């Protein structure tokens, strides 16, 4: 039977009449998917099924929110049990303590934990905390790093024409939206990533004004761009030396790269960390963690952080079930994730080499992205903007749909491996890649 997505097309036409852009986030609409998105009906393990009855091997996994795969039985049982006894109390609960303790065991820097709902919200709270604790207004953000859609962070966060970026020593600050608080542009210092000298210059140019250096551990919204060897420890040391808080955004990397996230992988001890996505195993759970002295600024009368939905017991039930699986047997799950990703990445590289296709695969643990480029590697945001053929990747990803593989069609995003993926899924995906390249 030939591939069809007519029900998705019809649903999108209905959606346009009732929702802006036909959906609840631009990343789910035509900007990434072309004429219309695929409407997903259900998921199971490594698979998703759309409304037309097509089945896909899912390598997007809700942008990395599902480390165990879709509908893992432990998570399903935990959610059902919690929901049956009350979805929300907005009051203290025992499970809140249990999950905070679990995070503390896995993440040594998490001397204190505060729960939130999304990575965006956690990043907002972390920045407020850093400013409140230090009494300083400014912070350093890196080109191409995405910390959510809040005003302070929504600057130089998406691809732009290289000519619009200015000189690396003095980047042009590009607001990503109308309606931003213009003070955000004044207090956000933008510098290139993987360039320690640039950070030193920025700190020197704003003496006594920088509250925090905020960074992803792996640049995860420009495909996958790893830190240069020694860069993150040097960045942390620079912050310590200047009395600046080192804030690590682990929304994407947390509970994915290692039991303690990328801070374990790279030997870091951040002052503040933020977590989301994989923490909730598909439910909206996020966390701000850090040094007790700093986190205590959240106490009543200090730095304010409210939230009726904070520490939702249904979400925390999912988080507890997922963390138990990930932490079992000394964190063996993370080695399984890496092995599966290694097989997919190496297989894809071999396919591109055999086909004479100019493409690379960049990978850190279970995170990987294909980049159509002539370059041997992409090291930073400016290289991504200048040298990665994003339109070619979108065509390739959309062609994979027709062969039963679901990847985000945005070259600026990436694929993630779950525990539900097996060697058979890898081989089927590689076969689909060969066919998609043949489609042109």
Mean pLDDT of 77-95: 95
Q: How many domains in the chain?
A: 1
Nearest to 139 by CA among 160, 124, 149: 124
Instruction: Supply the pLDDT for residue 438.
Output: 87
- Answer whether residue 253 is part of any domain: yes
Distance CA 435, CA 420 (A): 24
The string of pLDDT tens digits covering residues 301-359 is 899 999 999 999 999 999 999 999 999 999 999 999 999 999 999 999 999 999 999 99
Report whether pLDDT(185) > 60. yes
Burial label for 94, CB within 10 Å (0-12, 13-18, 19+), is exposed
Does residue 56 sit within a domain?
Answer: no
Residue 211 is classified by DSSP as E
* DSSP strand pairing (138-142 vs 188-191): parallel
If one counts every other C-beta atom within 10 angstroms of the C-beta of residue 303, the result is 17
pLDDT of amino acid 1: 56
Classify residue 212: in a domain, yes or no: yes
Q: Which pLDDT band holds residue 275 (cuts at 50, 70, 90)?
A: very high
Look up residue 169 and give its DSSP letter.
T
Question: Which structural domain range is residue 123 located in?
Answer: 73-326
Residue 184 has phi, psi (to 5 degrees) of: -60, -40
Burial of 150 (0-12, 13-18, 19+ CB in 10 A): middle
pLDDT tens across 15-50, in order? 999 999 998 988 888 888 989 999 999 999 999 999
Tokens of 112: 């204190």
| Residues recognised as catalytic | 146, 249, 277
Q: What is the DSSP string of 77-136?
A: HHHHHHHHT-S--SS--HHHHHHHHHHHHH-TT-SEEEEESSHHHHHHHHHHHHHHHHT-
Q: What is the pLDDT of residue 16?
A: 95
In a domain, 33, yes or no: no
Beta-strand pair 138-142/210-216: parallel
Angle, helices 231-241 vs 196-205, to 10°: value is 20
CA distance 179 to 27: 20
The answer to whether residue 110 is domain-embedded is: yes
C-alpha 399/C-alpha 61 separation (Å) is 19
CATH number assigned to the domain comprising residue 87: 3.40.640.10
Counting Cα atoms < 13 Å in the Cβ hemisphere of 243 gives 11
Mean pLDDT of the chain: 96
DSSP string of 57-77, one letter each residue: EESSHHHHT-TT-BT-HHHHH
Residue 228 CB neighbours (<10 A): 14
Q: Is residue 210 scored above 60 in pLDDT?
A: yes
Cα separation values, 315 from 85, 95, 111, 409, 414, Å:
13, 10, 22, 29, 25
Residues 236-261, mean pLDDT to the nearest whole number = 97
Q: Is residue 103 part of a domain?
A: yes
47 Cβ contact partners less than 8 Å away, ≥ 6 residues apart: 55, 56, 57, 58, 70
* Cα–Cα distance, 257 to 134 (Å, whole number): 30
Residue 95 has pLDDT above 60, yes or no: yes
The sign of the CA dihedral 287, 292, 295, 301 is positive
- In SS3 terms, 234-277 reads as HHHHHHHHCCCEEEEEECCCCCCCCCCHHHHHCCCCCCEEEECH
Q: Cα(53)–Cα(4) distance, rounded to whole angstroms?
A: 9
Tokens standing for residue 382: 């400016």
- Model-level pTM? 0.96
* 389 falls within a domain: no
The CB density around residue 270, as the number of other CB atoms within 10 Å, is: 28
Kindly report the number of other CB atoms within 10 A of residue 428's CB atom. Answer: 16
């Amino acid at each position: 039977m030939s591939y069809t997505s007519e029900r998705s097309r019809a649903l999108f036409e209905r959606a346009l009449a009732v929702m802006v852009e036909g959906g609840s986030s631009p990343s789910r609409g035509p900007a990434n998917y072309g004429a219309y998105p695929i409407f997903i009906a259900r998921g199971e393990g490594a698979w998703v099924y759309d409304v037309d009855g097509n089945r896909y091997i899912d390598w997007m996994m809700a942008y990395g929110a599902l480390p165990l795969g879709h509908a893992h039985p432990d998570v399903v049982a935990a959610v059902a049990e919690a929901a049956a006894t009350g979805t929300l109390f907005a009051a203290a609960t025992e499970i809140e303590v249990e999950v905070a303790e679990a995070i503390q065991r896995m993440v040594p820097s998490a001397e204190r934990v505060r729960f939130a709902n999304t990575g965006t919200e956690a990043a907002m709270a972390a920045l407020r905390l850093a400013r409140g604790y230090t009494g300083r207004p400014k912070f350093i953000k890196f080109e191409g790093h995405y910390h959510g859609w809040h005003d302070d962070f929504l600057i130089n966060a998406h691809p732009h024409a290289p000519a619009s970026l200015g000189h690396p020593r003095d980047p042009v600050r590009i607001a990503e939206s109308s309606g931003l608080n213009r003070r955000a542009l004044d207090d956000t210092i933008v510098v290139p990533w993987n360039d320690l000298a640039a950070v030193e210059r920025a700190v020197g140019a704003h003496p006594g004004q920088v509250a925090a250096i905020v960074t992803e551990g792996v640049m995860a919204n420009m495909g996958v761009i790893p830190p240069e060897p020694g860069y993150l420890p040097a960045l942390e040391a620079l912050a310590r030396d200047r009395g600046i808080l080192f804030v690590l955004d682990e929304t994407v990397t947390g509970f994915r790269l290692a039991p303690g996230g990328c801070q374990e992988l790279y030997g870091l001890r951040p002052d503040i960390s933020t977590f989301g996505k994989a923490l909730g195993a598909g439910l909206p759970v996020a966390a701000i963690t850090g040094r007790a002295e700093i986190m205590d600024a959240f106490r009543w009368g200090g730095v304010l952080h409210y939230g009726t939905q904070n520490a939702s017991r249904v979400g925390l039930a999912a988080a507890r079930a997922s963390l138990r699986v990930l932490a079992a047997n000394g964190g063996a799950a993370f080695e399984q994730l890496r092995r599966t990703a290694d097989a997919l990445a190496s297989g894809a590289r071999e396919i591109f080499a055999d086909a004479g296709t100019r493409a690379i695969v960049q990978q850190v643990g279970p995170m990987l992205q294909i980049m159509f480029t002539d370059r041997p590697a992409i090291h930073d945001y400016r290289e991504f903007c200048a040298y990665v053929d994003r339109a070619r990747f979108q065509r390739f990803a959309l062609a994979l749909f027709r062969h039963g593989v679901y990847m985000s069609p945005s070259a600026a995003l990436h694929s993630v491996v779950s525990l539900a993926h097996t060697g058979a899924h890898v081989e089927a995906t590689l076969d689909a890649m060969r066919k998609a390249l043949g489609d042109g």
